[in-house]
Amino acid sequence: MKPTLEYARACDEADVLRTFRERFAIPTDSSGAQLLYLCGHSLGLMPLAARQLVNQELDDWARLAVLGHEQATRPWIPYHENLAAGLAYLSGARPDEVVAMNSLTVNLHLMLASFYRPSGRRVKILIEAGAFSSDRHAVASQLAWHGRDARTDLIELTPEARSEVISEQAIEDCLKRHGDEIALVLWPGVQFRTGQAFDLARIVSAAHRAGCIAGLDLAHSIGNMPLALHDYAADFAVWCSYKYLNAGPGAIGGCFVHERNISAAPASRLQGWWGHEAATRFRMEPRFAAEAGAAAWQISNPPILSAAPLLASLELFQQARIERLREKSNALSSFLELLLQPLELELITPRAPASRGCQLSIRIPGERSRGRRVLDRLGELGVICDWREPDVIRVAPVPLYNRFAEVFTFSERLTQVLREIP
């Protein structure tokens, strides 16, 4: 295979998922030309059907006002139920193990309130060094909430020397050494900066062997690759919906609680009226009776206008099928990797397709200012990708809407820019 534009176009023609692109709004420049959007790892594109579904809610609000809670086209009181099947499909869960609610960090706090229960010697939390700031803030503040100190009770596992990635073996070794002091492991499905995808089944079972609770942050995994949360037996998982799930800025997040943790009803679950069983919620009685499933962790009534776009997007995933998307994603990322080879840049994302998703993280050699100029110049040339400190450009060809020809054009523009900015 020669990595040429002709080859890329042939791949696009042969792509069984090619028509899904037409169902998204592709951003344009001031002259109306389509931008080269490779930033779905940060904010996914808008499914065209999102407008229709949001307008439907606005129309129902205008037409029905408060009556919409029960009489809207999709009544608002049980609105989260519309999302459960699609989220269960993408996360590999049972529909009652998932719920759309809040946003990621809020959900993480709610899960930690239930599942981080330090006791005796087992008080620590294990995360990866360089975790997303919000995750670190959440666990550090939970430690403090329990009267503990992140300086001693937060273990941040660093990558092996001269590497950016953390092997599953290293996680297992850490759990063997320190497992009896660790109450909870919080691990990402895909690391936000490096793009490394982890073997979650292996990490969850290592955590459980060590007697720890296993929680997952799937911000960069859901919609990016198939998941099987129920079978991994993760205790809980949280995610946002604005990246690969294309549900729009600040969209409603999601949460998974394993069935066994639902039936065991945790000692501590923060409560609000929306987690109360729906049948008796409006009796407004002081006694709390939990709704069935993960829905019991809901606190407030859901933001309908930020949930409607998710419904539009989940529908597309169910049609495209996540296995087919994963196959195309592997092909897109491998094509990009091949095209980048002559540029002799360092990819900090693992080479093995099983250990990465859509995103490739490219280290730009030289001063930080050079990297920033490269990113800015790419922007001037109509390429949307992003930057993570101190020196990484993240690029994600997303199989629902990106094309092989776009990956080719990206490599050409990057080649040009690196030549312009030596």
Ligand X SMILES: Cc1ncc(COP(=O)(O)O)c(C=O)c1O
Binding footprint of ligand X on the chain (CB under 6 A): 103-105, 132, 134-135, 188, 192, 217, 219-220, 240, 253
**H-assigned helices in 179-257:** 200-209, 229-232
Nearer to ligand X, 103 or 411 (CB): 103
Q: For residue 155, give both structure tokens.
A: 């273990």
The residue among 219 and 311 lying less far from ligand X, judged by its C-beta, is: 219
For the chain, how many helices (H) and strands (E)?
15, 15
State in angstroms the smallest separation of the CB of 274 from ligand X: 19
Measured from the CB atom, is 171 or 414 closer to ligand X?
171
| The token pair that represents 68 in the structure block | 């919409």
- Measured from the CB of residue 107, what is the shortest distance to ligand X in angstroms? 8
| Residue 219 CB contacts under 8 Å (≥ 6 apart), including other chains | 104, 132, 188, 189, 192, 238, 239, 240, 243
**Smallest distance from ligand X to CB 253, Å:** 6
CB of 420 to ligand X, least distance (A): 31
Give one DSSP letter per residue of 258-305, joined into a string. -HHHHHT--S-----GGGB-GGGGGG--SS--BPSGGGGG--S---HH
What are 386's strand-pairing partners? 394
* Cβ neighbours of residue 181 closer than 8 Å, sequence gap 6 or more: 121, 122, 123, 124
Q: Measured from the CB atom, is 20 or 198 closer to ligand X?
A: 198
Nearest approach, Cβ of residue 240 and ligand X (Å): 4
For ligand X, the nearest residue by Cβ is: 105
325 by Cβ neighbours in 10 Å (0-12 / 13-18 / 19+) ranks as buried
Closer to ligand X by CB, 339 or 385: give it.
385
Nearer to ligand X, 132 or 198 (CB): 132
Burial category of 192 from C-beta neighbours within 10 Å (exposed 0-12, middle 13-18, buried 19 and up): buried
* Shortest Å distance, C-beta 251 to ligand X: 9
3-state secondary structure of 400: coil
CB-nearer residue toward ligand X: 134 or 167: 134
In the complex, least distance from residue 104 CB atom to ligand X, rounded to whole angstroms: 4
Q: Could you identify the residue written with the tokens 């995750």?
A: 135
| Closest alpha carbon to 282 in 77, 124, 144, 121 | 77
Q: How far is the CB of 360 from ligand X (least distance, A)?
A: 17
Q: Which is nearer to ligand X, 103 or 361 (CB)?
A: 103
Shortest CB 77 distance to ligand X, Å: 24
Closest CB to ligand X among residues 102, 411:
102
**259: phi then psi, degrees, rounded to nearest 5:** -45, -40
**Would you give the DSSP letter of residue 45?**
P
